[in-house]
Every structure is written in C-alpha cells, then in structure tokens.
Structure 1
Amino acid sequence: MRICIINTGGTISSTGQPLAPMAADRFARAAQDLLGPALAAALPGDALHFDTGLRFSDDGPGTLDSTDLRPSDWCRIARRVLDLYADHDAFVILHGTDTMDYTGAALPLLLNVFDDLGLARAALSKPVILTGAQLPLFTDTPAGLVLNAGSDALANLTGALSCARLRLPEVAIFFDGRLLRGCRALKVSTTRFAAFDSPHLAPLAERGIGIRRGTVAPLPGPAAPDLALDAPAAHARAMAQLDAVQACIDDQRVVQITAVPADHRAAAPMLAQQVRAALDQGATGLLLEGFGPGNVPAGNGAIAQVLADADVPVLIASRVIGGQVGAFDYAAGAWIAATGAVAGGDMTPVAALAKMVVLTAAAPHHGWDRATLAALLARGLTGECAPTDRMDGPLWPGQVLTCGPVRLENDPDAGPRLMRGGAVLWQAPGPGVLRMQGERLALIGHDGAVLWSGPPAPGAVAILSDDPPALRMIDPAHRAAPVTALAG
C-alpha cells in the first residue's frame, strides 16, 4: 500500500523554545533516519512517502502552527491531496491540534462535489487521516534531533498509518488510539493525550493489540466508478470546485455568535445588536449557538426580527458538547423556524462553521440559490450530522424525516403521512414500518403483511423534497429521473 504523509506543521513537527514547526524536508529526513527501520517493521509491505511539496508561505519553514491556518489553507491541503491522488492509496496529514477539528470538517466538503440534493458527483475513494500530537515527535539536542520518548506523537503517527490500511473512504482524525470521523470530532483537552472526542458518533476504529473496526459504518464512498476521484472527469470536477472555492473562501465572513444569559427584554437586546452589527459589517453567514436544543431568547421580538431580516444563511447550533438542534419544540425557541433559520441537527459548532464557509464559497460555482444552500446546510453531506431528509434504513413508528416545512412522520397509530405545515398531503393505509422490500418502498404491518408499496426503483435512495413535496427514489450513481414513491 502506498501511503503519502503530508506535513502541515503543528506540535508533532515542532522543535525549539518556543516551539515552532520545522520545515517539512527537515522533518522528513529526521523521520526517515530515526524511524525508518521501525516504521518498515510495523508496516510491512507499505511504501511511505514523506511529501515536502506543500508550502503555506515562501518565507520561513513553509509549515504553520495550526492556530494560523486560514480557510484558504484548507484548500491548499485539499489541493495537495488531489495533486497526489493518483500516486497513492491513502494520505496521512500531520496537523496541529488547535484547529485540526476545523480542517477535519472542511476537507470532506472540499474533496467531494455535491449536487443540489446532496448526492456526490465526485467522491473521495481513499482514506485521508489527520493526526498530530500533544508533544513533539523529536527533541533538539547538541548532537541533533532525537526521538522524544515521552511524546504521544509516535503512537499517533503509527496508529494513523495502520488505520489507513482499513481503506475507509473518508476524512478521519486519529488520536490516542481512536479513529474518529473528521467532521464529528472536537478538541476537548489541551493537557491529556486524549485530545479529541466525538460526542455524537462512536469511533470508526480503535487501536490496541491490532486495529479493531468500530460499530459505526464508514461512509459508502463513490456510488459508481465514474464518480470516484480516481476517474479523470470526477477529479476534474473536484479541481474546478476547489479553484472556485479557493478564489473566494477567505472573503466568506461567517460570524459565530453565542447566546449568553442577559437581559433580552431591553429595547435593543445585546444578541440582536450583535447580529445586526455582524450583518452591517458584511457577514456572509450567521452561526448562532443556542442553549440546549438550540433555544435562543426571543426577548421583545427584536431578535426574531433581525434574524428574519437577514439576507444571508442563518444556522442554529447548540453550545452543548452533546447538543442537538431539532424542531424547536420549546416555547423558548419555537419562534426560530419562522425566521428561516436552519436547524443544525447534531452538527458540532466547529463542523457547522466549516460547512457554512465552504458551501457559501462554493454556491456561485454551482449556481445554488438561497433555498438550495439552506437545504444543503441542513442535509448530512459527509456524515457531519445525522441525515434528516433521507431514509438510510427503515422508518420506524415515531421517526420523522424533514425537508424545510415538509415532514414525513411515521405516526404510531395512523402510520406514515406526508405533511406540510398542518396539512396532510398523503396518508398511509395504516400503521407499520416503511422500508425497502426488494426494489420497492413498502409499508410492512406488524404481522409482516405488505399494506402499501411504491413503484420499482432498483438501487435508489429515498430522499424527501420540498418542491414538490414528495418522497423521491433517486439512483445516486446516475442521478436518473427520480421515481416518486409518494407525493401529496
């Protein structure tokens, strides 16, 4: 297996007092001289390439402390992966811990290309694993660089390389023995070796005596060979998107504002003033961190008014590490949906910000209008949130799919029904489980009887749409004319 190691900087490759990242070529020589035999023994049959072609600046070492990374630097990392894609089977990216979770959330959106329904038209087909360390890998001595025996760096590097052999087609973070989905990870500690956690998703794999796959299914990868980044046309689509995004991504001004306890009954509540100031200063998107399940104080109506007046996307996340924003069921947040703000589901605020920045930069290239952009922000594209608009398994009684104002809810007593607002557009003949049976979507009663079935749609996925309100069966490989499974 051919594994490419790309060094962006960060603690793992830092030396000196104060610590600063060394140049990629110096780090590569040290790794080969001091670790070469050990890595070869640990990874028999693998060919490791320490790439030195990525530079963030022509001055100095060319690497960066991740504190200094800008959104356009995410694009530089993605471009290096795409430039080397055909020559390697997997990529391990050495990165600083300060913003590794932001890069882990941004790279999947830059290495995949999605259409207006969130289906991949160019898809990552190889592992891209970020790793780093809380302590440097090497230490400077009068005799030169030596291995830092007390560091977590070697275990993280070899663990990431070992996990690359699983060939999971997604961007992940390996740290302290666990492989986490990159867009689900959060930095949670500056003092423990367990620096990252994933509050809503179990690890993809764990390293102990060997590598053990987790209970979470990896992302599926390309729906067809011509959609994989290995294919020239798909690779060209990803490059064209990257060119367009990189040209304007640093101009995206997504402002993140956290709700805090305050007197929101004032004539001009502080939160409303902050939102208005951000809009007046040219914000291209707003990310609000609400309390609990996304609740934001309504105050005297000023906050609702300023959000409704915003002409940029507004995404609501939860400041709670394990928070999830849903249907705004509490009175303290029920007014939010009427403003047009998008519920962020179980996205972390880190993933939400990276997603807003990348998608708003990509929108002009793809011709996405405001409604399409809002729909994509709510959809799970790269596993950054649980999908709410498509069936990834049976729809059991009590479960709901949503797409804007359209809901497909499986009522335990009445059975599945398609609704828009309070209007019922389609009603199933009775209670049961909505699931695929062969090539058809079917409603299965408690005794196994088929109570209803839709038209045949081989190989399709069921996606809820708003315009028109319908559950549509769409072939993700060819994006053929969708089959309507049920409609109002």
Structure 2
Amino acid sequence: MHLALVYTGGTIGSIGQPLDPMPVERFRAWWSQRVAPELAGGAETFWVDFAPQLDSSQAEPSDWTRLARTVIAAAAAGAEAVVLLHGTDTMAASASALGYLTTLFDADGRPVARLGIPVVLTGAQRPLFDDAGGLRAGTDATRNLHDAIARAATLGPGVHLVFAGMTMPGPRTLKVSTLDDDAFACPNGPGQPVDLPSAPPAALLAQLDALAPHLGRRAVIAIGPSPNPPSALAAGLAGVVAALGDGLGAILLLGYGTGNIPAPRQVAPQLRAARARGILIAIGTQVPAGAVAPGLYGAGSWLGEVGALATGDMTAPAAQAKLHVAIALAASRGWPGGLAEAFFQRNIAGELGTAG
C-alpha cells in the first residue's frame, strides 16, 4: 500500500515545558531514527508537507482548508490512504470538516461523490518523543501510530479516527477525556455512512478553491443557557449579534436535555432578529449522548417557530463544522434562502445516525 503521512503538530509531536509542537524537520528526522525501523512491513510510506505546524487548540476553519487540500493532493499523487497526525483538542472537528470537504456536491449541495481513499486521524495524549529525541516512556503515541498505519490498509473511503485501540467514524467522534488514553468515543454510535462513488481529486480541489475564501469568514458561535436569569442568555445573544455584525454566520444553541431553551419571551426576539439578518440558528444539546428533539418539551417546542434547525444526533463539533461549510457553500454559490438550511439537515459524511 502507498500510504501518505502528514504531521500537523499536536501533543504527539510536542516537546519542551510547556509542550509545543516541534518543527516538521526535527519530527521527521527523529521518526526516521526511532519509529520507521519498528513499523510493520507492507506499507510504503511517504511524507506530505503541512506547514506551519499547529497546536490544535488554535485551529481555525482556514486550517481545515489546508488539511483538506493536503489530503486531496496526496490522493492525486497516488496515495491509497492518508494518516494525519493531529492534536486531540480539535481532532473531532477536523475529522468532521474533512468528511464534508472531501465530498463533492451538486449545485444544490447534495453529495454526489467522495474521495475514494481512507483518511485516518490519530494523535496522542502524551508526546511520542522525549526532549532528547528518544521514544518517551509510557506514551500512548506508539500504539496509536502503529494501529492507524495498520488499519489504514483495511478501511474503506471516508474519514476515520483511530485511538486507544478503537477505530471510529471521524464525523461521529467526541473527545471525552482530557488525560485518559481512551480520549475519544462515539456517544451516539457509528452513524449512517452515505454510499457514494469516488470523486476525482481535481474536482474536489476545484470545489475547495471556490470554498476557501469563504470558509471561516463568518463566525459560528456556540452559546447556551446556564443557571442564570433568562435575561443573561438574551443579553449574550444580543451582544454577539451586535459585536460581530455581518461577521456572524450562525449560532449553535447548546440547550438542556433534548434541546430545551427556557424563557422564550426573552430569547425568541433575539433569535428572530438574527434570522432576519440571514444568520443560521441550530439547536443542539449540552449532553454528550442522545438526539435533539426540541418539540418534546414546552421549553424547546417554540424553537421551530424562530427557524432553529435541529442537529439530530450530531456531535457539537460535527454541527459546528457543518454550519461553517454550509455558510461557505452558500456564499461561494450564491444560494437562495433555504439551501443552506437543507444542506445542514442532510447527511453528508455519516455525521447523522439516520440517512438524512
């Protein structure tokens, strides 16, 4: 197998105190000395450049564009699979974004084809190397690397996350621990992949080139209720809309339970005003597992009246990345009202547990 490796930064490639990602040249040199000789045979690996490296907590939507372009270019260069070494803080969001950005869409945003190779993300809770270039004792990085490279040869097209012995569909994952090796889970199950033919890399790159100037230009802000007076959430919404103006593209409400937002009398006017300015509104949940059903309780039943889109059983990172892509598609293609909303509620990369 012809396997592309991409080092993006993250804990797996960090050294020093406090930890920071090392430059790619040093990481690759130490890899050649310490890791490559121990890799199982069968895969012919080559490196694909990604620079500058990232602390993934600082990743932005523009970095998803860089990731997607790197992956698609690797496929165009003959890679039969790609393994991305990525930081854990935003790995779930990047996995979701890559699922969308390696999918080819028709004029109305329906998925018609997908990159025809597996893309595997992995990383570590502890660095791979110590500060002298030796393999760090007790690191989880070694196992994750060996697993990711071995499983890349067996997986089908799509974006996958390999971590702590588990292989998960990338757009369904959520980081569930700050320190434990079992850092990721799929709290709502594996989802429902969309069966699509292979997309030509050139077509995906052309689509990405059109999206890139718009991806991340308008913010997606997550906000939700807390045990405060209702006026606090209303004021927060009003402040966000006023402060960002045309730079705000979407609000993801992370409600209680199945999608409950109390105090519609105070909050609904803010959401209606946002919708009138073309800002998308989505309703998710603060709870890690379970689907959103905002009509189940009175505290959520009013949200449909202000145009809020239910996230279903998408994770928050998947929903946030999808809103960014929906906004960019709408801007790049001049979509009329309604197409971005339809895109958000459609299953694109297996991020939903139903066919959508």
TM norm structure 1: 0.68
Matches within 5 A, 1:294-443: 294-299=259-264, 301-310=265-274, 311-326=278-293, 328-387=295-354, 389=356
Aligned residue in 2 for 1:253: 219
Aligned residue in 2 for 1:288: 253
Higher relative contact order (CA closer than 8 Å, sequence separation 6+): 2
Aligned residue in 2 for 1:276: 238
Are 2:112 and 1:121 equivalent residues in the alignment?
yes
Aligned residue in 2 for 1:54: 50
Distance 2:273 2:18 in 1: 48
Change over 3 Å in CA distance of 1:116–1:321 after alignment to 2 = farther
Across the aligned residues of Structure 1 and Structure 2, the Cα RMSD in angstroms comes to 1.8
Distance 1:95 1:188 in 2: 16
Distance 1:118 1:247 in 2: 18
Aligned residue in 2 for 1:236: 202
Distance 2:154 2:355 in 1: 28
Are 2:164 and 1:176 equivalent residues in the alignment?
yes
| Cα shift at 1:18 | 2.2
Change over 3 Å in CA distance of 1:120–1:68 after alignment to 2 = same
The secondary structure found in structure 2 opposite 1:103 is helix
Are 2:8 and 1:8 equivalent residues in the alignment?
yes
Deviations 1:306-358 (A, max 9, x none): 22232311000011001311251211111111111101100111111111112
| Cα shift at 1:248 | 2.3
Instruction: Give the gaps of 5 or more residues in structure 2.
Output: none
Are 2:151 and 1:185 equivalent residues in the alignment?
no
In the alignment, is the contact (CA less than 8 A) between 1:171 and 1:181 conserved in 2? Answer: yes
In the alignment, is the contact (CA less than 8 A) between 1:169 and 1:219 conserved in 2? Answer: no
Are 2:64 and 1:74 equivalent residues in the alignment?
yes
Q: Which amino acid aligns with 1:278?
A: V
TM norm structure 2: 0.93
In the alignment, is the contact (CA less than 8 A) between 1:118 and 1:379 conserved in 2? Answer: no
Q: Which amino acid aligns with 2:240?
A: A
Change over 3 Å in CA distance of 1:312–1:218 after alignment to 2 = closer
Q: Which amino acid aligns with 2:170?
A: G
Change over 3 Å in CA distance of 1:218–1:37 after alignment to 2 = farther
Deviations 1:253-299 (A, max 9, x none): 111111112222xxxx2212222222222221111001100011134
Distance 1:167 1:178 in 2: 13
How many pairs does the alignment contain?
A: 349
Aligned residue in 2 for 1:412: none
Distance 2:261 2:106 in 1: 32
% identity of equivalent residues = 39
Distance 1:173 1:358 in 2: 20
The secondary structure found in structure 1 opposite 2:288 is coil
Instruction: Give the gaps of 5 or more residues in structure 1.
Output: 56-61, 203-215, 223-227, 390-488
Return the structure number with greater helix share.
2
In the alignment, is the contact (CA less than 8 A) between 1:323 and 1:346 conserved in 2? Answer: yes
